[in-house]
Structure 1
Amino acid sequence: MKTLKSILFLALLALPFKNLLAHALWIETPLNGKIGQSHQVNIYYGEYATQEKEIPNKWYSDVNQFSLWLIQPGKEKIRLEVKETQDGFTASFTPAVQGQYALSVVHEAKELGGTTKYEFSSYAIVNVGNVKAEADVPNPLKTVFKVQKLHQINQEVQFQVLLNNKAFAKGKVMVFSPQGWSKEYTADENGYITFIPVWKGFYVLEASNYEKTNGTHHGKTYDASWQGATSGIFVQ
């Protein structure tokens, strides 16, 4: 029995650290906002499929020191003040003009996972009134839609995976439903993925990218990098 336990322990150590660190950071906020009305934003870290939201002092490395940026229509982006809550962080902004607003987080964890560098990112879109132009989301890895809208149950949802603003062919995306269902999809040669939601509610999409690459990060050497990027859709 001791020999079996030792084998299992060694097998666990042999797994890439990225398989052990499955948590993600994501943003939840209503899709539509109104001019002059405060709009609330929530930021969480954990496992969306099981509604596990870790308290901020338990977040990996220094991820709880992220910056939340607001990209406003026709204006420079601004950093929003965030306040810690029991299960994450909250922030708010008040739209002043019509258009599409984007909320963005991109944070490289200070600590390495073994010899892997980790980047957590997320973005969310808020439509206010008549949207004439799409907001420019600066995140290096992201899932994008032709139109940000409320999606319908049992109807196809299509999005594109982009890496550094180019189609991420064969990119991997996990889709998490509010009922706990999840499935991994692989993008086609043009970075597109299609799926059909069968439950109503808020879905989280998590794109990931793992590469063998060398460098130093906060004085430590790494030989691989991992990016995890989330966004969400509303299904009615």
Structure 2
Amino acid sequence: MKKLIFTLLSFFIVLSASAHAVFIETSLKGIQGKSHAIKIVYGEPDEHEVISKWWWYKAGMEITLTLIKPDGSTSSLTTTAKDDHLLTSFIPDQDGMYHVSLKRDTERKEGAKTQYQINAIATIQVGNSTIGNTATHLDNELFVFAEQTAFKNKKEVTLTLFQKGKPASNTAVQIIAPSGWIKWLETDEQGRVKFTPEWKGKYYAEVSKREKVTGQDFEEYSRTSSMSFAVK
């Protein structure tokens, strides 16, 4: 029993140990012809910082998201600022898998050696169709993608990390469970991580990765990315 408890504790860490990140919060199921709300939040899931505290946000700034429809066509979604989040919406006009994508370089102070980049995606299913659920629809430089469209409790989940369109191996991915715990996993040679969820509800995957660069007035990119999926 002691060994079992130690093993569990070695895999799970209290959520408060997690660094803040930018998330897209939205219902992962949509209805054709009905407005679908999308929030951009900073902090930890369900524990948001007020907008004035966001280190990458300037008062009055509008963030533009990319909406990718099931047929691959795209449009822009412009957010408006609320007390502790940015808000936008769209009306689905076809069944299938919609992707909402955020990709933005933060403001960099003069002389800073690191350029930070925020990436976040959300995948919304409208109707029962799975058309459009392909990683090639996304052009984020760092993102976690789920080929499967249904997630069941106690059943293995597979996620793939992509960097610049290719699977990224040997990279730590943080899984945040609805219970308030997190689990760290490392991608294999195909950029995949696998785990078995222990609770129902919405899960988040977070990742950060640094890359040395040349020919710029900074030395490295530090990219972060987040996505969510629902386990039933």
Q: Give the TM-score normalised by structure 2.
A: 0.82
CA distances 1:6-41 after superposition (whole Å, capped 9, x unpaired): xxxxxxxxxxxxxxx932111111122111111111
Cα shift at 1:65: 4.2
Is there any run of 5+ residues in structure 1 with no aligned partner, and where?
A: 1-20
Report the structure number with the largest CA radius of gyration.
1
Which residues in structure 2 correspond to 1:25-174 (within 5 Å)? 25-48=22-45, 51-62=46-57, 65-74=62-71, 76-112=73-109, 114-129=112-127, 130-135=129-134, 136-149=137-150, 151-174=151-174
CA distance in 2, matches of 1:133, 1:183: 29
Runs of 4 or more consecutive aligned structure 1 residues displaced over 6 Å after TM superposition: none
Shift of 1:75: 5.7
**Alignment CA distance shift 1:82-1:174 (3 Å):** same
Q: Percent identity?
A: 30
C-alpha deviation, 1:87, in angstroms: 1.6
Residue 187 in 1 paired to residue 187 in 2? yes
Aligned-partner Cα distance in 2 for 1:196–1:31: 20
CA distance in 1 between partners of 2:131 and 2:56 (Å): 40
Whether the aligned pair in 1 keeps the contact of 2:202 and 2:231 (CA below 8 Å) is: yes
Instruction: Verify the 8 A CA contact 1:66 1:106 in the aligned structure 2.
Output: no
Alignment RMSD, CA only? 2.1
Mapped partners of 1:31, 1:170: distance in 2: 29
Q: Which residue of 1 aligns with 2:3?
A: none
The whole-number CA distance in structure 1 between the counterparts of 2:200 and 2:133 is 25
- Give, as a single letter, the amino acid of the residue that structure 2 aligns with 1:24: A
Deviations 1:194-225 (A, max 9, x none): 11211221111012211233454xxxx32222
List gaps (5 residues or longer) in structure 2. 1-17
